Structure 1
Amino acid sequence: MHCRWCAVPSPTETAAGRPRPALRERIGRHVLLSLVLIWGLGSTVVLGVGNHFVAEAFDRALLDDAHALAAHVRGGDAAPGAAPLQLDLTQREVGLLRFDQSETVWFAVYGDGGALVAGEADLAPDGVPAGSTHTFSQLQRDGRELRRVSLRIDGPQPFTVVMAQTTAERTQLLRRLLVYSGLAQLWLLVALGSWLLRGIERDLKPLSDLQDAVDRRDAADLRPLPAALTHDAATRDVQRLGEALDGLLARVQQSLHAQREFAGNVAHELRTPLAGIRTQATHALGHADPAVWRTELEGIAQAEQRASRTVDQLLALARATEGGIALTLQPLALDAAVRDTLLRFLPRADALGVDLGAEGLEHAVHVQANLALVEGILNNLLDNALRYGRGNPARITVALRADATHAVLCVSDNGPGVGPDLAGRLQQRWAQGAPGLLLGQGAGLGLSIVARYAQLMGGRLTLDDAQAGTLRDPGGAVGSGLAASVWLPLAPPSPPPHGRAGPQA
């Protein structure tokens, strides 16, 4: 007979070459083993309890026979010349007393001095403990085990009655009790095991259905699993597993979408500079004039720089999209981070003739942020300002201030600025204003990267006219231009040192 619970599965093998057991097989094995152990323990308990009560019943009957025999002992008065102890039973009455359908019974009566009054001479009494009238003991006679009772009768002339009988009947009774109770427990064990195995099979079926649904899926099919296998599952564990798989599929789909978008963006943005490089190289190879070569090589170098910058921005944007899954935020000294970044940009600003200044860095400002993302925000905003902030003279101001809940980092320039209709659109990918298109620099990714970084840290980016910012020229006139403000949440206040009270109101 085929048993699906006992069949060896054929899934993935272990490192040692043995097949891994199926989950239903392992659970079924544990359940059946537990039931067998319980059945064995139950049989042992039944045997012990049955042996106790059977022995008690037989011992009580043997003691009653000893009392009945003692009632027929006559004599033993204390008066002088009284008759000695004797058993007042005929041979026929003695035979009736010793009669038993399945056991053999022996008896003996002993006087106070140990003299045999009647019965078997070799059936010696056992010592009766003080304070008791009888005692039971085991005895070997003619190779058979006997159960013996010694009954002491006190009186003018005490005597002891000893009765013994074989134990075949009580052993047979115990055997029948064990067989019948064991068979009944075995039947219950089989019924309970079948019910449990069917229940296990029924409860694991949703898991098998979920496995089959995943196995039948194509690698490109990342849709959520059917609701009947996840949200409508019979058990909470299968439901949580289905929801976890749906979440994993959603993350994989998001990652694949980001990869496809990244690949498409790279292909789209590199097509133009690569075509220009190819055209310039072809034009240079068609001339023998070194001046033409130099001019075309300079154009190729500039196109390569623009392509490299575009690739760096695309990689940063892809990391920002993927990094939101496991981003660590911790208290960060924003004033120190801004100061370090400004020091790195000063040589470039001096080379371009741009006046790069800062405001509000004398006060410590701590935000809940990520250092790499903060540096990415500053790098993009300063790079954007250095390319577009071409006032006369060109000025860029980095201002830092804080309110009750947020720190505001504002990078202002006196460049051409943007109109209010472009302030929201510039935070999207590939969006550029007219000055950017005129300069032919960038790909419209810098501000979208800044907006995404700020969003990952729980902040936001706002674009305003520089007139609303803090940038002013030496003459006091407000310069036109762009003020890009990044709002970041402040870090929670540090707890006071242990054992010291906080400030009093």
Structure 2
Amino acid sequence: MSSRRGPPSLRQNLLRHILLWLGLAWLFGSAVTVGVGQWFTQQAFDRALLDDAYLLASKVQVQGRRLALQATERELQDFLFDQNETVLFAMHGTDGALLAGEAALPRPPRLSPPDRLFRDQDIAGRRFRVVMLGVAQPSPFVVSVAQSTSERARLLRELLAFSLAPQLLLLLVLAWRLHRSIAQDIAPLAQLRAAVEQRQAGDFTPVPVQADSAEAHDLARAINLLLGRLEESARGQREFTGNVAHELRTPLAGIRAQAEYGLRHRDPEVWHEQLQGIAASETRASQALDKLLALALAYEAGTALQLVPVRLDEAVQEAVMRFLPRADKQGVDLGAEGVDTPSTVQADLTLVEGILNNLLENALRHGTAGGDGRPVVTVAVQQEDGRTVLSVQDNGPGIPPERRSEMLKRGVRGVGQPGAGSTAGGVGLALVTFYAQLLKAPVSFGSGPDGRGWRCAIVFGA
């Protein structure tokens, strides 16, 4: 059974790409070195070969209307002596006739003095370098000198060996050092991978990583930012679950109470009345759930709600009418102030209703315990400095200033004793604060004008 290999590691990719281009650069440099070395070597040998041709040409004189080389055998050996190479010469007239020297040398082309010609020639199975020099005095002729090229090839090989071998060694050392350096540079990525693999599903704390490179640091920062967004999303889901539980508790309790009341009676009129109430409660619960879903999406995406003109006075009147039967049953004096004059604000009606419902729910449930005289809850709409202020106030014992920030936390409740605070905190006030933030309306919590009770104020148009 064959196993499929995974993709190559980052280290392998980096080494392959770097060494590939280094190898290509080395080959190109070697080719340049070979070409330059060969050119300079050939220039040096060709210069010496040309000097020999000039020396031989200087020994030519005219004898009886013919050109003759005036040099003894000993002198020719001295002229053409080379310890390692074979040197040949020949002299040809303008008609191509051999005047002196080796007949094996090729006949030169027509050269006008002082033209010269260098070329490679195979002579007797060996490679020679030949120079042909046109001479004008004492009479036009061409002198050719040929030298075998074995010494040139040897020097070129030695030049390549001494120049390219260190470069190859340097390339190997560089590859070894690159391997170690790349391993050190990508070590933070391995640490980051291990930290992410070992992370529990609910752990959104930042991933620690020691990064020496900007790329690894940026990657760790991006992962930590992602973890932060995931934590925010998980917090939003928890908030949504709690909000749903809180918002649906009251209508579901009302539906249950109305159903139980209807089951205890035989009168169809009572059934009809309770069914209407159940339908209305279900409608309010569905609307609340739809809005909570929309709020959760807005919270998740970080987008703002679209604010539209809302009649705040009408919303307050409807909220008071909804809670009036319950207030009468509890003996609470529930009233509204400032709703006789139309008051329009930029808001969202469902959020405004959610604020009023939560504040009135808290006030009727917790704000009437421990108060002096008849409990009073007042919803007011006031104009202050061109802004509209919506407030809900009770005459209960209130909350000490040192505990007000604590009461905004979910699940925290007042003790219910005078002086210790009795108004509910937790989900209700947390939702009021969150809704007010979405409406861009500052919210404040404090005591009433006489220092008694609990007062919440939301400022629209601030």
TM-score (norm 1): 0.65
For residue 100 of structure 1, report the CA deviation from its aligned partner: 3.8
Q: Which residue of 2 aligns with 1:405?
A: none
Out of 53, 57, 63, the residue aligned to residue 66 of structure 1 is: 53
RMSD of aligned Cα (Å): 4.6
Residue 235 of structure 2 corresponds to residue 250 of structure 1: no
Residue 429 of structure 2 corresponds to residue 451 of structure 1: no
Q: Which residue of 2 aligns with 1:208?
A: 190
Q: Which residue of 2 aligns with 1:124?
A: 107
Out of 124, 132, 146, the residue aligned to residue 128 of structure 2 is: 146
1:159-217 C-alpha deviation (Å, 9 max, x unpaired): 32111123233233323333443322211110111111111111111111111111111
Residue 202 of structure 2 corresponds to residue 220 of structure 1: yes
**2:220 corresponds to which letter in structure 1?**
G
**Partner Cα distance (2:45, 2:243) in 1:** 97
1:88-237 to structure 2, matched below 5 A, reads 88-111=70-93, 114-121=96-103, 122-128=105-111, 132-226=114-208, 229=209, 232-237=210-215
Contact 1:107 1:161 in 2 (8 A): yes
Count of aligned residue pairs for this structure pair: 407
Contact 2:131 2:144 in 1 (8 A): yes
Residue 351 of structure 2 corresponds to residue 380 of structure 1: yes
Residue 37 of structure 2 corresponds to residue 50 of structure 1: yes
For residue 268 of structure 1, report the CA deviation from its aligned partner: 4.5
Contact 2:119 2:131 in 1 (8 A): yes
Residue 311 of structure 2 corresponds to residue 322 of structure 1: no
For residue 449 of structure 1, report the CA deviation from its aligned partner: 3.8
Q: Which runs of 5+ in 1 are unaligned?
A: 1-9, 11-16, 77-81, 362-373, 389-393, 402-407, 468-480, 489-505
Contact 1:262 1:314 in 2 (8 A): yes
**Helix, strand or coil at the partner of 1:85:** strand
Out of 267, 286, 293, the residue aligned to residue 245 of structure 2 is: 267
**Helix, strand or coil at the partner of 1:357:** coil
* Structure 1 pair 484–283 and aligned structure 2 pair: CA distance change class (3 A): closer
- Greater CA drift, 248-257 or 32-41: 248-257
Q: Which residue of 1 aligns with 2:452?
A: none
**Partner Cα distance (1:219, 1:446) in 2:** 28
For residue 269 of structure 1, report the CA deviation from its aligned partner: 4.6
* Structure 1 pair 56–22 and aligned structure 2 pair: CA distance change class (3 A): same
Q: Which runs of 5+ in 2 are unaligned?
A: 322-338, 361-378, 415-421, 450-454
Give the share of equivalent positions with the same residue, in percent.
40
Contact 2:444 2:456 in 1 (8 A): no
Contact 2:436 2:458 in 1 (8 A): no
For residue 64 of structure 1, report the CA deviation from its aligned partner: 1.9
1:437-479 C-alpha deviation (Å, 9 max, x unpaired): 99xxx95576424422145xxx7456899x9xxxxxxxxxxxx
TM-score (norm 2): 0.70
1:308-347 to structure 2, matched below 5 A, reads 308-312=286-290, 314-315=292-293, 317-324=295-302, 327=303, 337-338=308-309, 341=310
* Structure 1 pair 166–153 and aligned structure 2 pair: CA distance change class (3 A): same
**Partner Cα distance (2:244, 2:60) in 1:** 121
* Structure 1 pair 445–92 and aligned structure 2 pair: CA distance change class (3 A): closer
